Amino acid sequence: MKKTLYFFCLPLLPVLFAGCGAEQLSEPEADKMLQQKYPRVIDLPIYGGDPKSAVLLQNAGLDAEGYVITKKTKKLGDTTGWVSFTGKAAPYLLETAADDRRHNIQKIKAGEEQLEEIISVVQGDDGKTATVTYRTKSSPTPFGRLIKLDNGAVKQRTAELIRYDNAWHFREKGTP
């Protein structure tokens, strides 16, 4: 009788232990995690005290379109910046640290990167890691011309995830 019981229970062992393994990362779960990071703002510092920044803004046509006012020349003793932003640029101005503002630096929104689609989710051999490959799409603001940000540019990216504390987390750089 004991041998018969072992015979019937033996095939059930893999099923019992399968529940103890790590949970697979599903595509909807990966999408939910990536939604925490996207949309992502692409920011850019403008050095208002640098005449080269004024020239870049002029070359991009942002002064002609009314986003900025640039000085062509300055008088001796003029301590104001070469660049000032108009009300038209207000939606693109980002919060800038006080120390940067003191040095006449302003962060601006050059564009935004949105999650387009998940291409694949590959589970690691240990069941506790996963690699998610996905595509993003960028949408530039007028200031995106400064870094030649293309409208609708698609990039393929990867994210490394690790499972601990019964949940999936992004693997930070430098962690094993």
- The SS3 of residue 55 is helix
78 is a domain residue: yes
Q: Which two tokens stand for residue 108?
A: 């601006």
Residue 85, pLDDT > 90, answer yes
Please report which confidence band the pLDDT of residue 40 belongs to, taking 50, 70 and 90 as the band edges: very high
Residue 174, pLDDT > 60, answer no
Burial zone of 106 (CB within 10 Å; 0-12 exposed, 13-18 middle, 19+ buried): buried
Convert the pLDDT of each residue in 57-79 to its tens digit: 999 999 999 999 999 888 888 87
100 is a domain residue: yes
Nearest residue to 91 via CA among 143, 54, 50, 45: 143
Query: Rounded to whole angstroms, how far apart are CA atoms 16 and 42?
Result: 48
Burial zone of 69 (CB within 10 Å; 0-12 exposed, 13-18 middle, 19+ buried): middle
Give the total number of structural domains in the chain. 1
Q: Which two tokens stand for residue 129?
A: 């890691």
Burial zone of 155 (CB within 10 Å; 0-12 exposed, 13-18 middle, 19+ buried): exposed
pLDDT at 83: 94
118 is a domain residue: yes
Given a contact cutoff of 8 angstroms between Cβ atoms, the answer to whether 57 and 83 are in contact is yes
Range of the domain at 133: 27-170
Burial zone of 48 (CB within 10 Å; 0-12 exposed, 13-18 middle, 19+ buried): buried
pLDDT at 16: 39
Query: Rounded to whole angstroms, how far apart are CA atoms 53 and 24?
Result: 50
Percent of the chain with pLDDT over 90: 62
Please report which confidence band the pLDDT of residue 117 belongs to, taking 50, 70 and 90 as the band edges: very high
Convert the pLDDT of each residue in 154-172 to its tens digit: 999 999 999 988 889 888 7
Residue 20, pLDDT > 50, answer no
Averaged pLDDT, 138-150: 92
5 is a domain residue: no
50 is a domain residue: yes
101 is a domain residue: yes
Q: Which two tokens stand for residue 145?
A: 């011309």
7 is a domain residue: no
165 is a domain residue: yes
H or E element: which one contains 69? strand 68-70
